[in-house]
Each structure stands twice: as C-alpha cells, then as structure tokens.
Amino acid sequence: SESGQVVIKTRKAFIKPKGKNQQGYVQEIRKNDINFGIGPAGTGKTYLAVACAVEALEADRVERIMLVRPAVEAGEKLG
C-alpha cells in the first residue's frame, strides 16, 4: 500500500501483518510460488498463509487452494 504497510484484503476483512517479520513473510508469499515458514507456534504462519491464499483466490490469481499436511503426526520434534 501507499504507506509501505502490507495489507491482505479479503471479502470479509483487511488483515494487517504485525511487525517486520510478518510483513516480510507476506511479501515473500506474494512473490514466490513456494515458501517455507519456520518459527514457533502462535506466530501467525498458517493464519497469514491462508489469508494470502484466500486473497489470491478472490482476486482470481489462483483457481483453487490445496491444503496439505504430513501423513504422520509431527509432534514436538518438528516445531
């Protein structure tokens, strides 16, 4: 946006990433087809990724959203 603030626009809400790391994460999601978000639980990785996916779907930049997860339980070992 004009102020340099990254904003995710969906039909129901405007989502503003908090802090430089979340803003950079959203910018990288928009720029690259594949991204790896690494960090502790509760930092917004999944929430921001899904919000970006919904934004792209509603703007017709993608045709569908595919959610994938490991076939085995990750537990504490992977974060």
Per-residue pLDDT tens over the stretch 23-63: 999 999 999 999 999 999 999 999 999 999 999 999 999 99
pLDDT of residue 68: 83
Query: Bridge-partner residues for 8, per DSSP?
Result: 15
Q: List the domain boundaries for the chain.
A: 8-78
pTM over 0.85: no
